[in-house]
Amino acid sequence: MTPTVEKALLIAGIGMAGIFVFMAVFYLLILALDRFLPYQEEKPAEELSEDSVSEEEE
Residues in contact with another protein by CB under 8 A are 4-5, 7-9, 11-12, 14-16, 18-27, 29-31, 33-34, 37-40, 42
- Please state the closest distance from residue 57 (CB atom) to another protein, in A: 30
State which residue, 1 or 57, has the beta carbon closest to another protein.
Answer: 1
What single string gives the DSSP state of each residue in 19-30?
A: HHHHHHHHHHHH
Q: How far is the CB of 13 from another protein (least distance, A)?
A: 8
Query: 3-class SS at 51?
Result: helix
Residues 6 or more apart whose CB falls under 8 angstroms from that of 51 comprise: 43
